[in-house]
């Protein structure tokens, strides 16, 4: 009887741990989704021909936001609040290093889009609630959701009118 009681209790602990891990993952996914929605709302007023959300470029995932005409930019969105800095080549928010490498992710998506469109596509990393002014690091513009339109407007105009539609037609081939 004691053995089955212990086995049941340990099983319950394992399930509680799994639930806790799943709950944490759901919280991170929800925070990321909210950040993407926030940046998407900001991009509604950007002066661009086309803004796509969740555009699939190649086989390595989606671009959170793709801004086309007269500029070409991939906007990778991360949730986070506070002062953003670079420490030992890695991005940190309030002193905590971000998991994975969002700078490499933004650069990779911009490279893939550039290859697909045969254009130089800029990489923008938007940390939704970053408290410091925008800055450039390793070729990636880093900003918050309030500054993203200003950052994109500062990019070089590299597309002629109507060229954005040509780019979108290439995305639909995947």
- Give 149-168 pLDDT, tens digit per residue: 999 999 999 999 989 999 99
The pLDDT of residue 156: 96
Domain count across the chain? 1
Q: Is 162 exposed, middle or buried (0-12, 13-18, 19+ CB in 10 A)?
A: exposed
**102-117 and 163-171 are packed helices; what angle lies between their axes, rounded to 10 degrees?**
110
User: Which residues in the chain land under pLDDT 50?
Assistant: 5-6, 14, 22, 174
pLDDT of residue 131: 98
* pLDDT confidence of residue 28: 53
Domain that holds residue 83: 2-171
Report pLDDT for 5: 47
Q: The pTM is what?
A: 0.81
């Amino acid at each position: 009887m004691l053995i089955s009681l212990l086995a049941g209790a340990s099983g319950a602990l394992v399930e509680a741990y799994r639930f806790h891990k799943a709950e944490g993952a759901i919280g991170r996914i929800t925070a990321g989704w909210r950040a993407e929605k926030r940046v998407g709302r900001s991009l509604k007023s950007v002066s661009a021909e086309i803004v796509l959300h969740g555009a699939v470029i190649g086989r390595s995932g989606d671009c959170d936001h793709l801004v086309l005409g007269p500029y070409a930019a991939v906007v990778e969105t991360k949730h986070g609040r506070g002062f953003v800095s670079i420490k030992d080549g890695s991005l940190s928010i309030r002193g905590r290093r971000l998991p994975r490498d969002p700078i490499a992710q933004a650069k990779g998506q911009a490279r893939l889009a550039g290859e697909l469109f045969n254009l130089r596509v800029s990489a923008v990393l938007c940390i939704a609630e970053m408290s410091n002014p925008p800055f450039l690091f390793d070729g990636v513009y880093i900003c918050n959701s309030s500054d993203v339109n200003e950052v994109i407007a500062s990019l070089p105009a590299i597309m002629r009118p109507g060229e954005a539609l040509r780019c979108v037609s290439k995305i639909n081939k995947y």
